[in-house]
Structure formats: structure tokens, C-alpha cells
Amino acid sequence: MDSPAKPGLLRPLLRRLLLLGVLVLAVRFAYVVSINGGSCSDTDFCFFSSVPPAAGTASLRRDSSVPAAWRSHDWRKAVDYYSSVFQDLVVDGFLSPSSKSLCSATVSGQEVLALKEIGVPDSVGVSKNPSPPLVVSAGDPFRLPFVNTSFDFVFAGRSIDASSRPSDLASELVRVLRADGFLVVLTTSAADPYSLGSLQDLFPRCRKVRLSEINGPASSDHPLREIVFQKVAHREEEQDDDGSVNKCSVPEHKLQLVQSAEPLIPEEPLKPWITLKKNIKTIKYLPSVVEINFKRRYVYIDVGARSYGSSIGSWFKKQYPKQNHTFEIFAIEADKEFHKDYVSRKGIKLLPYAAWIRNESLSFEVNHNSDPKSDESSGKGMGRICPSGHPMDGKSSGDLHTIPGIDFAEWVKSTVSKDDFVVMKMDVEGTEFDLIPRLFETGAICLIDELFLECHYNRWQRCCPGVRSPKYENTYGQCLELFTSLRDSGVLVHQWW
């Protein structure tokens, strides 16, 4: 008679066991999500995973023949980190299971395994040294062993940051990417418009489609910026209103830098030798406000260099912020008196010519009077040039020599490119009113990132109050117009002394 009551006693017991089982599974699931970031390995018990692992990856991790590092906790965390990055790219449509994918400069292949595990099987890594079966040898990273347009997706990771030749590496990665394919860069830089613009300039055949900030790997203290580029089939050249192709265009980030530069001195200073020297202390050097990474080369051009100690040794070497980059230095100086100063200087290339608007012989007035007051009172100059056969406006009082002049603007265009970071100091004793228009005419002005210009005018003399120097005919107002036109055109120029 008691048997009918047994089912009633079993039901609460079964209910408790079922609830206990659900609780155990929920705790286990919470552990996997919180500890592994939602990624289930082959040793985890999960109901499901977001993307099933590619065939063979689980056995790869269990294979005793693979390097021990691949089975380490840190290696696994790196794979899981990249899995998370790639899954977000899948969700946003930049990557798909059918994408033929390349990972650049991946030393051990964690990125490649992550791609395979989330279901992108046709993936390979490339590095200087191979790490089979995930990474093949590139040998020369700037000549990858793949034909043009081989891949649908290229993951550059941090390789652009680490490269000594970011422009060449970027060109090679774009070469192997098909039209409309996606390329992803991770960087700790590109935090300011100039740095971001420099990074974008590395990929002229691509357009930026997304910029976001993501967490770095667990070992990183800094967030990363993730930039997604898409390769365009054809690049359209910018044109003027008349239909001709532009020599250059000034990007918005350069215009913003000019707007934040120290103000120009609006009124002619009564004591320019004091006012202009004080103004130098207010200058905001470009590398002190932006990052200058992602450049192919770093170049300093001193036009009218005079002696090594005049500006290269005393100012540029010691004071200009370089952000740990090594600069190539060109000294352009026509005065033979200073040439011997550069014979033993390593890393400096002397050009023993006068910067001019065309290639021709020039008359060169040389005066080595070391007393600046004497020079100003008598109108004597140092290194003044004039086309051969033309008078010095009746003001010549030094020794005249015939020297070669070079088309400076064309030299600039043949020496540097838009991929370089170029700093220029110009002190050419009045010839700036000839050289600057020529730089604009040829488009060479757009290759200069920062210009320090000394503008020469009929300033008040230190020796004789109320008397102007007869050395130059231009006025301070004309100098101000020259500086203003440069800044209006997006050139970061500073008043130099």
C-alpha cells in the first residue's frame, strides 16, 4: 500500500539533482568565459563555441612534436587574444571563412593559428625565419614570396611599428593584397592627426575604412589603435579647376599644425637682433607636438650652412627633438672658406654650390669681416649671390668669385620624397625671395615638413639708431607677407635669426 507514494518522494530528489547539475554547468561556463575570454579549448567542457575550430588545430596543440612554447600558457593567451581581434573583424565584414589570409612578421604564428581556429583555414604567416607549419620564410621582408594580389586579407599587426623601412614594407603588403581586400594595422602611434596622416600616406592605394582603439595583449601597458584599410582598384589623381594634375595638395592635418604654431611677429621689431632671438625660444618644434614615425627617411637640409658650428652643430644636433631617429644631413654652402670644416664630419654631406632657381654660374660676393656691427654699417655681406654678368646693385664691397648655382627646387625633388620627414633651415642672404616662389612653382615646397627661415630686409642697424641697413631692399612687411603665404599654404615655417 505504500508503493504509490514512492514516485512522490523521487520527484523532489530528481529535481534537486537536476538543479545541482545545471548549477555545476553554469559555474563551469562562467569560469571558461571569465578566464579564457570566451574561448573554449579542447580541454574545456562547453555547450558551444562562437566559431568551431578548424580541423586539425586541436590535434596540432596536442601533437608532442610541436615546440613546447606552443603549448605554454602565454602562447595560448596570445592565440586567444588574436582570436578575439579576428572575430570582431569577421563580425564587421572585413574577414570571412573563405578569405585567403596573410599575417606579416609573425615570429611564431600565433596569429595564424588564431585565424585557423576561428574558421579561416587558408591562412599563412610570413617571417624572416620559418616556423612550420604556420609560418613560411620571407627571406627579404620587402620582397615577399607571393605573386601580386595573392590575398584577400592581410594582417600587418605591429610590423609597421617595428620596421626600419615602413614605407617599403607597406608597399609590399599592398602589392600582395587583391583589389577591394582589407589590410589591418595595429599601432601604438597614430594618436595625433599628423602621425595618422603619415601612416595613411604609407598606403596611397588604400582608403581608411575604420579606426578604433582596442586593448593590447595582456603584456602590453598601452592600448592599440586598429586601422582597417581597403585597397582601391584605381587611384584618382587630384586635379586643379583647369583639369591639370596638382603638383601637390596640403592635407588637413598639416593645416591644423600651422594654426597651432607660435604667432608671427606682426610689427617690425626696433631691435631685431634681440626680438628675433627671443622669438626662437617660443618656437614649437614639430616633433615636440606630434609623433614623426612611419617615415622612410629623416632628412635635415641646411641651406646657407656656413660653418659646422653655425647651426648644424650648435642647434640642430643639440636642440632639435628627433624622437630617437637618425637624420641624414645635407649642408649647402658655396663659400669655400667653410668647406674644410666638413671634411672630417661624418654623416654630413656637403654640397659646395649656391642654392638658386636654375643651374647656372653666379657671381658670389665673399666678405669675412667678423664684426657684425662693421658689416651692417658698411653694407658688407657674406655669401651674397647674383647671376653672372649682373651688377650687385652698386653695393658690392667684398671679393667677387664665380661659383656654380643649382636649381635648388629640382634638387629637393630628386633628393627627398613625400615619404620622408624633411626639416630645412634657410639663411641665404635675401635669395629666399627667389627660392621660395620656385619651391611653390615646382611643388617641392610640399616635401618640407618644417622650415626655419631667416628673412633678410632693410632692418634697423645696431650701430646707428634710426638708420636702416642698405644691404637689402626688401622691407619687413614683405618678409611678413612671405611667412604668411607659406603658412596659408600649409607650410609650418618659423621666423629664424
pLDDT in tens, 430-473: 999 999 999 999 999 999 999 999 999 988 777 777 778 777 88
Same domain, 87 and 116: yes
What's the CATH number where 188 sits? Answer: 3.40.50.150
Write out pLDDT tens, residues 256-307. Answer: 889 889 999 999 988 877 887 788 888 999 999 999 999 999 999 999 999 9
Please determine, for residue 13, whether its predicted confidence score (pLDDT) is greater than 80.
Answer: no
Write out pLDDT tens, residues 312-369. Answer: 999 999 999 999 999 999 999 999 999 999 998 999 999 999 999 999 999 887 765 5
Residue 237: inside a domain, yes or no? no
Choose the weakest-confidence range: 165-179, 192-206, 208-222, 444-458: 208-222
The three grid cell numbers given for residue 84, joined into one nine-digit string? 578575439
Q: Which domain holds residue 97?
A: 57-231
Summarize the confidence of residues 203-208 as an average pLDDT.
95
Element (H, E) at 225: strand 224-231
279-312 burial: b if 16+ Cβ within 10 Å, else e: beeeeebbbeebbbbbbbbbbbbbbbbbbbebbb
Cis amide bond preceding 204, omega within 30 = no
Please determine, for residue 138, whether its predicted confidence score (pLDDT) is greater than 90.
Answer: no
Same domain, 95 and 162: yes
Same domain, 210 and 277: no
Same domain, 202 and 276: no
What is the number of domains present in the chain? 2
Residue 44: inside a domain, yes or no? no
CA–CA separation, 356 vs 344, rounded Å?
Answer: 27
Summarize the confidence of residues 49-66 as an average pLDDT.
50
Residue 43: inside a domain, yes or no? no
Same domain, 209 and 274: no
Q: How confident is the model at residue 376 (pLDDT cuts 50, 70, 90)?
A: very low
Element (H, E) at 434: helix 432-442
Same domain, 226 and 126: yes
Percent of the chain with pLDDT over 70: 77
Element (H, E) at 16: helix 6-36
**Residues whose CB falls within 8 Å of the CB of residue 389, separated by 6 or more in sequence, listed in order:** 363
DSSP 254-270: HHHHHHTSPPP--S--S
Calculate the average pLDDT of the chain: 83
Question: Cα–Cα–Cα angle for 180, 186, 190, nearest 5°?
Answer: 100
Same domain, 260 and 193: no
Residue 486: inside a domain, yes or no? yes
pLDDT of residue 241: 44
Phi and psi at residue 273, to the nearest 5°: -65, -15
Cβ 455 vs Cβ 483: under 8 Å: yes
Please determine, for residue 35, whether its predicted confidence score (pLDDT) is greater than 60.
Answer: no
CA–CA separation, 235 vs 143, rounded Å?
Answer: 23
pLDDT of residue 279: 82
**339 pairs with which residues across the strands?**
none
Neighbour count for residue 260 (Cβ, 10 Å): 9
52-58 CB contacts, 8 Å cutoff, 24+ apart: 52/119, 53/116, 53/117, 53/118, 53/119, 54/116, 54/117, 54/118, 54/119, 54/120, 54/121, 55/121, 56/116, 57/113, 57/116, 57/117
Residue 275: inside a domain, yes or no? yes
Choose the weakest-confidence range: 86-100, 103-117, 379-393, 423-437: 379-393
CA–CA separation, 123 vs 119, rounded Å?
Answer: 10
Please determine, for residue 240, whether its predicted confidence score (pLDDT) is greater than 60.
Answer: no
Pairing of strands 348-351, 328-332: parallel
pLDDT of residue 49: 43
Choose the weakest-confidence range: 266-270, 373-377, 475-479: 373-377
Phi-psi region of 72 (alpha: psi -120 to 50; beta: other; left: phi over 0): beta
Q: How confident is the model at residue 245 (pLDDT cuts 50, 70, 90)?
A: very low
Please determine, for residue 59, whether its predicted confidence score (pLDDT) is greater than 80.
Answer: no
DSSP 25-92: HHHHHHHHHHHHTT---TTS--S--SSPPPTTHHHHHH-TTS-GGGGSHHHHHHHHHHHHHHHHHHHT
Same domain, 212 and 297: no
pLDDT of residue 382: 56
Please determine, for residue 158, whether its predicted confidence score (pLDDT) is greater than 60.
Answer: yes
Phi and psi at residue 3, to the nearest 5°: -60, -35
Report DSSP state, residue 246.
Answer: P
The three grid cell numbers given for residue 107, joined into one nine-digit string? 615570429
Q: Reduced to 3 states, what is the DSSP secondary structure of residue 377? A: helix
CA–CA separation, 117 vs 80, rounded Å?
Answer: 9
The three grid cell numbers given for residue 419, joined into one nine-digit string? 615619404
Residue 218: inside a domain, yes or no? yes
Decide: residue 434, CB within 10 A, 0-12 exposed, 13-18 middle, 19+ buried: middle
Same domain, 335 and 444: yes
Cα 422 to the center of its chain, rounded Å: 11
CA–CA separation, 215 vs 8, rounded Å?
Answer: 55
Same domain, 109 and 208: yes
pTM for the full model?
Answer: 0.79
CA–CA separation, 401 vs 365, rounded Å?
Answer: 6
Residue 236: inside a domain, yes or no? no
Same domain, 295 and 426: yes
CA–CA separation, 464 vs 356, rounded Å?
Answer: 33
CA–CA separation, 109 vs 126, rounded Å?
Answer: 8
Residue 447: inside a domain, yes or no? yes
Cβ 356 vs Cβ 459: under 8 Å: no
pLDDT of residue 5: 47
Identity of the residue numbered 63: D
Cβ 439 vs Cβ 412: under 8 Å: yes
Same domain, 325 and 416: yes
pLDDT of residue 384: 67
